[in-house]
Structure 1
């Protein structure tokens, strides 16, 4: 679960229902979750069943520099005999690849839907990886859902089901093109992390005032907790906790950065007593060198654990 998906999860949970982008945010999160699920299943299958001699490196969600921007790679496989980009699609329906105009559409329940062409996406990704690593690169479109069927196949790249993918890659590796796996992997590991969160929030006009503030009840997920008797309490379901505010602080840091104005912290957590606020922030957001400012200690794993329970 990368940071961008976490941003979408926080926005989907906290964005006010009246916001004009609420429906779009929920729709994009649904697509992102489907994509992440497909990529995770693909990587897990390769790590479990791919039968190749020597080291095999399987990387997910890789961003490769390309022209004036970057290209996102769903799954990238590196082996001494083969480097392959996997364009993973977790979709249902009947798929039609137009090999003349390179357009793509699918039919679901008799309804035709135009979509981005996976073949064009893959071609761009293959060019980016080949140019960056300086080696020839293969590409394959992987269908992870058994409810997907190719009616018209693409022209440039093969489409394979997830179940068949290990066998397809094993056939590619028989060509004996020798690559330095450690060297190529090192080049990729040195790439700077990409952050698309700010541009995504700006595109959807999401700011702090667009969000429901307060400490979210992890059970109800739609209401804020109340601090009473040294615990957070939910009036609706009876949930209580001493440290539920830790997730709220991490959500703020993810969306808006680690620096937290003390005056804003009152609104963020929904408390009024300064001694309560200082006690809550003492360990997770200690005072900085600037008067009236706190600095949140980042803990992404806490958010991943929280949302993995929400989106099981």
Structure 2
């Protein structure tokens, strides 16, 4: 059963929100654009494994796509997690073309393209191994029985060629092309025939995986900003992306293309939750949306029907569970 469906990964959504709000001359803008292009290619590639996962017994397998779970100040991300009563399976999916050399001496991935140009990437085997460790720590905190955790690096580009150092071919037990995925999972089922988790424990883990899933804000802001003060604030135009729109007569007006919108502030709120915090007050909303009126801000926040807590000046609003369930990237990259 698919518990968390595949949507645009939070790393892409956070990156797109940050790109919208970076000044045009920011030195990190070009780097961020390149990062997003690679992540989009990865997202499109990740969808190619869904056909194979559809053959799994939905009564036995719980499937979670794009989990971002907290570990200390940061989060760790898992492309796809398969959870059963017997074991957990981490799938690190890569959509990289060319000849891929998994260098086990220096623990790096070297891609050689058709023109013979070499390019280095972080070792996905090391990445997946670290995810295993972090997931194990996460599950320990839930005080559930220890469960075996396996991982694999799934190469979904059908044109890529896989190579490694002489004598290191054993890594291909965990690195393989997408069509081998079901065979590998079936082999694991034979290795782990014993049920470890009860139905109650599986439900507990599932609830916590969904509840703890959170945008990787700090990862991006630390990498691309020196201060949050660099972010461009204001409500952006849903048509031309101009910032800021102006609030006039119960509408948002774009001074650049003359678009009028009643609910453009919803997009600004989404950016706030992606980049700044998981809760927002009236004052914080006014500062971010460039609103001067507390009453207007209050009416707009109430109209969202977002979950809230507290009263008057102590009231905070929280993103609804489905706010980040975006499935399509538009031509401008907006998630």
Indicate the TM-score class for this superposition, using the shorter chain for normalisation.
0.7 to 0.9
Q: Which range moved further: 84-93 or 8-17?
A: 84-93
- SS of the aligned residue for 1:49 comes to coil
CA-atom RMSD, angstroms? 3.9
Query: Retained in 2: the 8 A contact 1:61–1:74?
Result: yes
- Is 1:150 aligned with 2:162? yes
Deviation readout 1:82-133 (Å, 9 max, x if unpaired): 6433221121221001234433211123211121112222334445556856
Which position in structure 1 is the counterpart of 2:177?
161
- Is 1:123 aligned with 2:129? yes
Residue of 221, 224, 227 corresponding to 1:201: 221
Residue of 71, 90, 103 corresponding to 1:98: 103
1:294 Cα deviation after fit = 5.9
Deviation readout 1:48-70 (Å, 9 max, x if unpaired): 223x5951222234468999987
- SS of the aligned residue for 2:322 comes to helix
Q: 1:47 to 1:248 in 2, by over 3 A?
A: same
Residue of 178, 186, 189 corresponding to 1:170: 186
**For 2:294 and 2:135, how far apart are their aligned partners in 1?**
53
Task: Name structure 1 gaps, 5 residues minimum.
Answer: none
Query: Retained in 2: the 8 A contact 1:227–1:233?
Result: yes
Task: Name structure 2 gaps, 5 residues minimum.
Answer: 1-7
**For 1:117 and 1:171, how far apart are their aligned partners in 2?**
24
**For 1:19 and 1:276, how far apart are their aligned partners in 2?**
33
Paired residues, number: 308
Residue of 251, 264, 269 corresponding to 1:249: 269
Deviation readout 1:128-181 (Å, 9 max, x if unpaired): 556856344433220122232213375333322223322332344344622245
TM-score (ref. length: structure 2): 0.73
Query: Retained in 2: the 8 A contact 1:102–1:120?
Result: yes
State the structure with bigger RCO (CA 8 A, min sep 6), 1 or 2: 2
